[in-house]
Amino acid sequence: MTEERLMDKIIDVSLRRGFISPTAEIYGGAGGFYDYGPLGTLMRQKIIDLWRQSFVLDEDKVFEITGSLLLPEPVFQASGHLDSFSDPLVQCDKCKSMFRADELIEQITKQKAEGLTLEALDKLIQDNSINCPSCKGELSKARQFNLMFGTEIGSTGGMKGYLRPETAQNIFINFKRLAGFMRNKLPFGIAQVGHSFRNEISPRNFILRVRQFEQMEIEMFYDPEKENEHPRFDEVAEIEINLVTREMQEKGWEEPLRVTVEGAIVEGLIPNQYLAYYLAMETEMLKAMGIPETEFWFRHMQDHEAPHYSAGNFDLEVNLSLGHMEIIGNALRTDYDLQKHAKASNTSFEIADEGRKIVPHVAEPSMGVDRILYTILEKCYREDDRGWVWFQFPAAIAPLEVAVFPLMKKDGLAELAYDIHDELKDAGYLSFYDVSGKIGKRYARADEIGIPFCVTIDYETKEELTVTIRDRDSMQQIRIPIEDLEVVLGELMDGEAEFSEFEDYLIKS
């Protein structure tokens, strides 16, 4: 790699080839917001499809819902977001450092200050003559920093609302109806894909730290007394994952621990099967998306790092060019949210089972679509000696799957190629037709956006009804009858067949 940062190269391709661009660019942009272009959108869709297939559709008792992005204030009062998302800050007039007002007071006066009003905090700062801890300068008045986007609902503005800072709350507040739909029988899971919003103080690093992001999330509700009776755990028990335990972090670690999820439970490294199940599933999913297993691990977060609702978090961290990045959070939310909402709304969230009344516990795998997409871009980015840039996307997440080219424009080849392209589209392939420029240039253009296969129509196509398929990764070509094209492409894409298995059809150059 050259001096230029990998992220800059990814941004360059993203802008040029229609993956991602800043929102409201012609008006100077808006920090922390990005729009997805044609290829970015196709790719997002495929990422979501892949997740949906294995985490929702393949499961027996997981269903997906679509919740409102804007929710009324009481939801976040109950969930704790209003408090934990809204920190009182003071700033030093001299050195401009920012401090949490309540923590500063607690440190210096040793008295509890959490949850006090701004006025009370100001008074305590004044009464105790608290100055800036780093330069002794005067401190400003405390200001409320709320990471949620708030608004007024209705023309008279009688009701406060917030854009959701996580998708999960829609599921908890619908719990009673959802449980009814699931016939009040545990376990069951509710999935959701959609946007969440956080008014980050300082958005940074392209699409990695943004104010609007998309989550793919499941709340898996289970009986805490049966936390190791996951109905499908056997299917994943032997899958190996990379794990970084709390103990390893204290001692300092270099290589993650390699364990089967079953072994991790036996040794008490992961709290239960419901959480462990998802760690295994996520490992498999990321591998299918072209992210090598050596590049990510699950880190058991220390107690003080975990979110306010979590009794234990296993973050999936990936090794990116700019350092480690959390792209998936796996939280053990216990019954925290249901209890909070039950109390605040005066609703019962108990489920009767075998004579017991249970408030279910929750295991939550929560994934950032944008961060996963960026990780794929980095991990699939290739650059060869000649400076060519291309993406080695697995077919499963490639924004376009096949490109169809006539070798030449003339002699009817263009028309013939277009017909084949049209048929591939009818057959459900994401096919792209390109006629302009020399054939080599078209291959290069297709490679750059990671199209795995190119079909070329030449004179033999006319005479013998055959076409060539070019493999992006090896640049090799096979020649097969047109009538086999759809089937062969399908096998290559599903991974049922490797390109090298078609040795008999290889074109020797």
Partner RNA sequence: ACGCCAAUAGUCUAGUGGUAGGACUUCAGCCUUCCAAGCUGGAAACCCGGGUUCGAAUCCCGGUUGGCGUACCA
**Interface contacts to RNA, rule CB under 7 A:** 11-12, 15-16, 22, 28-32, 84-85, 87, 91, 96-98, 100, 165-166, 196, 198, 200-206, 209, 305-310, 322, 386-389, 407-410, 436-441, 443-445, 448, 456, 458-459, 468, 470, 475-477, 509
CA distance 119 to 130: 15
What type of residue sits at position 194? G
Go through the chain and tell me how many residues it has.
Answer: 509
Residues 188 and 221: beta-carbon distance below 8 Å: yes
Output the smallest distance, CB 68 to RNA, in A. 17
Cβ(314)–Cβ(287) under 8 Å?
no
Give dist(CA 12, CA 17) in Å, integer: 9
Sign of the four-CA dihedral 371, 373, 379, 383: negative
For RNA, give the closer residue by CB, 99 or 222. 99
Helix (H) or strand (E) run with residue 252 in it:
none
267 contacts 259 by C-beta, under 8 angstroms:
yes
Nearer to RNA, 356 or 441 (CB): 441
- Helices 369-380, 6-16: inter-axial angle, 10-degree rounding: 100
Q: How far is the CB of 302 from RNA (least distance, A)?
A: 11
Cβ proximity to RNA, 41 vs 97, nearer residue: 97
**Residue spans of alpha helices (H) in 110-205:** 118-127, 168-173, 175-181
Strands (E) in 97-231, as ranges, are 98-100, 143-146, 150-153, 159-163, 188-197, 212-222
Residue 271 CB, nearest distance to RNA (Å)? 17
Least gap, CB of 181 to RNA (angstroms): 26
Asked, as a colleague might, if the bond just before 481 is cis with ω within 30 of 0, I would say no
- CB-nearer residue toward RNA: 99 or 349: 99
Cβ proximity to RNA, 98 vs 248, nearer residue: 98
Q: Rounded to the nearest whole angstrom, what is the least distance from the CB of residue 234 to RNA in the complex?
A: 32
Nearest distance from residue 179's CB to RNA, in Å?
A: 24
**Given the complex with RNA, which of 233 and 374 has the nearer CB atom?**
374
Q: How far is the CB of 16 from RNA (least distance, A)?
A: 5
**Contact by Cβ (8 Å): 75, 169:** yes
Q: Residue 308: how many CB atoms within 10 A of its CB? A: 11
3-class DSSP state for residue 155? coil
Nearer to RNA, 15 or 153 (CB): 15
Q: Give the whole-angstrom CA distance, residue 216 versus residue 285.
A: 13
Min. distance of Cβ 9 from RNA in angstroms?
9
Please, which residue, 11 or 130, has the CB nearer to RNA?
11
